[in-house]
Structure 1
């Protein structure tokens, strides 16, 4: 009986830790994009595009509210359907 409880505890810890890693990844993009889009006139659109770019670029978002795109080449190089920059 004790073996079953130990096994259950180990499985529970593994599952909860993997869920924690997934949730912190999403929240790090959200936090970075909130800073990036804090002065945007179209805040909702900026947040949407920034989160898409952040996820594609493994969490990389340039610092500040504008510019600094060279900090994240992946973020800088994503284009929209018209060939312009997609990421704010």
Structure 2
């Protein structure tokens, strides 16, 4: 009985960690949307902000990858 509870706990934890992958997609959408809104307001400055856009997207995706790795560790490292 205790083994089943432990497996259930790891499955719940892995599911909660996998939510981070979905929220990373939301974060990338916010970064890209805010860049687009700013570029439409001031097209002359859009070229200078492209590097910042890619850095923001990279940070958002890195958090999603980290949460995916935590989910995999919880599922298979037990």
- TM-score normalised by structure 2 residue count: 0.44
**Higher RCO (C-alpha 8 Å, min separation 6):** 2
Structure with the higher helix share, 1 or 2: 2
- TM-score normalised by structure 1 residue count: 0.40
